[in-house]
Structure 1
């Protein structure tokens, strides 16, 4: 008895999925019957009208074969396709061949004709359904690849966040602990310097949180990017971004070059300002140079290119292919080396892509440059 029970349980487990699949298939066939009946009714009506003008069974057979193709595309079900093929064969024999209103496959040539019609109809139906299933599988595969890419980006972003949060938070904790425990033994200048370091790290963390919050402006709960665009003057957007950057970094030098024409581009101005600000901040932290950062806007056909160029150490060529994937970027050393801009660059790419644009990074003779392109600029003649 102890040996018999596992065998019985195994048989029960094995038989249940088959019965479930059969029941699901029958339900699927039943759901497709109304569409099938409607298409066959239309084919029957057209064939009847055609039969009154031309007593040609071959042409009528072609009408039903075309109907079977439509059924196969609409239902994506082999069983329904076979049933429709059989209906076409029997109905053509019954209604449109002599003797009329009688099933008779015995007359000379009838067996070959109707067997051929049945084979052609079934083959066409099977091929059409197979193609539809293959297309569906390809779409599902593409969807799975997109989801896998999203998960990879999320994982990279989380790793970058954990890395970028840990170091400044550790610095804040260490500095504040020193102030609380040994503040009375420190000079006023030392305490002020420590407080300034705490403020700088806290301000940087706030800026990173603003970067992360900007993602919520362009992605819904499914992760699909979308933005609300309005036509914005390029000069004003650039000016606002630079002023915002200079408020955070008063000692930074920035030169700006924009077209003489009054140019407008459909965009979300707040998000594009965020992109410009991120790129300026990246150049400020990692260039390691006292020379001005160059921000320029140039027109190339229907596109407007925004370029941020520094005069520093440039970018490691090994990082160029992965800079926008959410990893931590380190181009410099010293007190600001922990401020990797991997998160900011990843968000820049997301924002630019949501505007149907492109972003790239590279090196020039004396440093690094980042360029993002927005489409569909135009002159505002009403300005």
Structure 2
């Protein structure tokens, strides 16, 4: 009902405007009905484009022919069906109306179909992410919890029989597993910031890239004090629309992934550069690289490596979350093997999406 009202209102207003403009041209300019016909044809096309269905276009075509006949053809303010060219004008305007309405209707249906398809794909991605998170809860969270319970039980039950070194080892294991749990919980909470939105987008604000990078490194070094990171970025002041909390989490995930899984003691390289309308972030290690069979599916929530020894250090969920965050920002992310090591590259657009 609301749509019908808006279509009727739009049609009436546009026809009234076209008629008023035609009176101005006709009475203060060249009294040629052909010029008036052009104005009405333009109004007809706009109405056929903006309204739904064929009715408004056909009704407008009928009104235009009658208006030209009644207001702008001699004898004025009389309808004369015997005027030369009258049937041709009517048929021409009717044809324009039908063609325009048919074209716009087809385009609207196509646009709706594309929007529905995009919505289905977005929902499929959301469902896939939910499945990955469920797997994270059932495995990546359960395993360290079991380890914490086991270590704390051993510490309490065998305290008197344990050496100082054994006690320190158990406490260190508890601390390490707790830090891993904290990282996983941060990832899970991060995703809720996106999952709570209806269109899988995020609220962006202009942020200083250097500050976001510094905060990500600070948070990572708090958990991994010995990590070494070499940062290379433009000397110019660089602002970027983003959700800083989410991008910090992406950087933390990628940097930690490079440190933990590369098998290299060399520093991890974090490079930021500008490319046209994009800012490119690169995280590169100098280790063993990524197994070629895992590379095509690395962002799908699978464990990064089958060689993970502790059973809960895989970063598959973290990488899946990285992809979700970057896509929600309108960017891209990919992983590549280099001659020595692996490189994760993601891009962010400089301007906010409309």
Corresponding residue for residue 341 of structure 2: 367
The answer to whether residue 317 in structure 2 is matched with residue 348 in structure 1 is no
Larger radius of gyration: 1
Quote how far apart the aligned CAs of 1:103 are: 2.9
Kindly indicate whether the alpha-carbon contact (under 8 Å) linking 1:72 and 1:81 is maintained by their aligned counterparts in 2: yes
- From 283, 286, 289, the counterpart of 1:314: 289
CA separation of 1:300/1:229 partners in 2, compared to 1, >3 Å: closer, same or farther?
Answer: closer
SS in 2 for 1:68: helix
Corresponding residue for residue 256 of structure 1: 230
Quote how far apart the aligned CAs of 1:215 are: 4.4
The 1-side partners of 2:104 and 2:193 are apart by 43
Quote how far apart the aligned CAs of 1:38 are: 0.9
The answer to whether residue 239 in structure 2 is matched with residue 266 in structure 1 is yes
Kindly indicate whether the alpha-carbon contact (under 8 Å) linking 2:268 and 2:284 is maintained by their aligned counterparts in 1: yes
TM-score, normalised with respect to structure 1 = 0.74
The answer to whether residue 33 in structure 2 is matched with residue 60 in structure 1 is no
The 2-side partners of 1:242 and 1:109 are apart by 79
Deviation string for 1:36-69 (max 9, x for gaps)?
1111111112223333344433433332221111
CA RMSD of aligned residues (A): 3.5
SS in 2 for 1:80: helix
What does 1:137-156 align with in structure 2 at a 5 Å threshold? 137-156=113-132
The answer to whether residue 84 in structure 2 is matched with residue 82 in structure 1 is no
Unaligned runs of 5+ in 1: 1-23, 377-383
- From 131, 140, 161, the counterpart of 1:164: 140
The answer to whether residue 11 in structure 2 is matched with residue 36 in structure 1 is yes
CA separation of 1:134/1:216 partners in 2, compared to 1, >3 Å: closer, same or farther?
Answer: closer
Corresponding residue for residue 11 of structure 1: none
CA separation of 1:284/1:265 partners in 2, compared to 1, >3 Å: closer, same or farther?
Answer: same
The 2-side partners of 1:129 and 1:140 are apart by 16
What does 1:171-320 align with in structure 2 at a 5 Å threshold? 171-179=147-155, 186-215=162-191, 221-222=197-198, 223-233=200-210, 237-238=213-214, 241-242=216-217, 244-250=219-225, 252=226, 254=228, 256=230, 258=232, 262-267=235-240, 272-289=247-264, 291-297=265-271, 299=273, 303=279, 305-311=281-287, 313-320=288-295
The 2-side partners of 1:208 and 1:308 are apart by 22
The 2-side partners of 1:78 and 1:117 are apart by 13
Deviation string for 1:55-100 (max 9, x for gaps)?
4334333322211111122322322222212211222233333443
The 2-side partners of 1:114 and 1:375 are apart by 51
Kindly indicate whether the alpha-carbon contact (under 8 Å) linking 1:330 and 1:338 is maintained by their aligned counterparts in 2: no
The 2-side partners of 1:350 and 1:264 are apart by 27
The 1-side partners of 2:275 and 2:83 are apart by 73
Deviation string for 1:306-334 (max 9, x for gaps)?
433132x3211222233234333225332
